[in-house]
Amino acid sequence: MSEILRGRAWVFSDDVDTDLIYHNKYLAETDPKKMPQYSFEYYPGKENFAKEVKPGDFVVAGKNFGCGSSREHAVYCLKEAGVPVILAETCSRIYYRNAINNGYPVLFVKGLSEAIKAGKIKDGDELEVELGTGTIKDSTSGSAFHGDAVSDLERDIMSAGGLIPYLKSKKK
């Protein structure tokens, strides 16, 4: 039985691009710890995310989350803010790689895009997420979802803590 994570939902639409997650204005930043202050600054209605997000809160999104640029800043800014997992119907492929390579979990949740549009999961809802089984419960609305696990290789990279520790462990 894996650990159950509890936190509030921050809900986003389909096709959230990397400029909305972390704007190109701040690309010269090289220190991941300084990146959370810029998260979602350009996302209409979520300008206060960086100030108000608490460690343990979840990012919940529809389809194709993280489309656009290859900037890893868009993963660091959420990981370093203490968002424990991205819940999205799908992620854009480069964003997905960047997350896995950092040992940062992403759950692909079927039906999430429609559920967001239908208001079955809303900003501020209290969520319970079990990473091991992919079970997601919205205690506020009573909705339940299921997130798909990743492939064997991605699971191995994730459990090593990311691509670099994975490669180092293979060299030994």
Partner 1 sequence: MGKTMIMKIMERAAHKEVHVGERVWCDIDWSTARDFGGANCTLQFDEITEKQGRVWDSDKIAFTFDLQAPSHSEKVSNNQKIIREFAKRQGIKHVFDINHGIGQHVLLENGLVKPGDVILGTDSHMNLLGGVAAFATGVGNTDIAASWLSGTNWFRVPETMKIEATGEFQCGVSMRDFLTRLVGDLGAGGLDFLAVEFAGDAIERSTLAERITLCSMVTEMSGKIGLILPNGPVLEWLAGRAGPEVRSRVASIAPDADAPYIETRKYDVSKLEPLASCPDAPDNVKTVREIAGTPVDQVHIGSCSNGRFEDIAAAFAVLEKSGFKVSPSVRTIITPATNEVMRRCASEGLIEKFLDAGIVFTNPTCALCTAEHYGALPGGDVGCSTTNRNFIGKVGKGSHTYLLSPMTAMATAVKGVITDPRDIIC
Contacts with partner 1, residue ranges (CB under 8 A): 14-15, 17, 19-20, 23-25, 27-28, 30, 42-44, 63-64, 67-72, 75, 90, 92-94, 97-98, 101-102, 151-154, 157, 162-164, 167-168
Q: Minimum CB separation from partner 1 for residue 134, in Å?
A: 19
Q: How far is the CB of 27 from partner 1 (least distance, A)?
A: 5
Residue with Cβ nearer partner 1 (50 or 94): 94
User: What is the smallest separation between the CB atom of 55 and partner 1, expressed in angstroms?
Assistant: 22
14 or 130: CB nearest partner 1: 14
Each as own residue / partner, the long-range contacts of residues 32-40 (CB below 8 Å, 24 or more positions apart, any chain) are 32/73, 32/76, 32/79, 32/80, 33/80, 35/73, 35/76, 35/77, 35/80, 36/77, 36/78, 36/80, 36/81, 38/77, 39/77, 39/78, 39/81
Residue 72 CB partners (closer than 8 Å, separation 6+): 98, 102
Angle, alpha carbons 141-119-18 (nearest 5°): 115
- State in angstroms the smallest separation of the CB of 60 from partner 1: 17
Q: Within 13 A of 144's CA, how many CA atoms are on the CB side?
A: 4
Rounded to a whole number of angstroms, the minimum distance from the CB of residue 99 to partner 1 is 9
Nearer to partner 1, 24 or 139 (CB): 24
- Asked if 59 contacts 120 with a C-beta cutoff of 8 angstroms, the reply is no
Residue with tokens 């972390």: 22
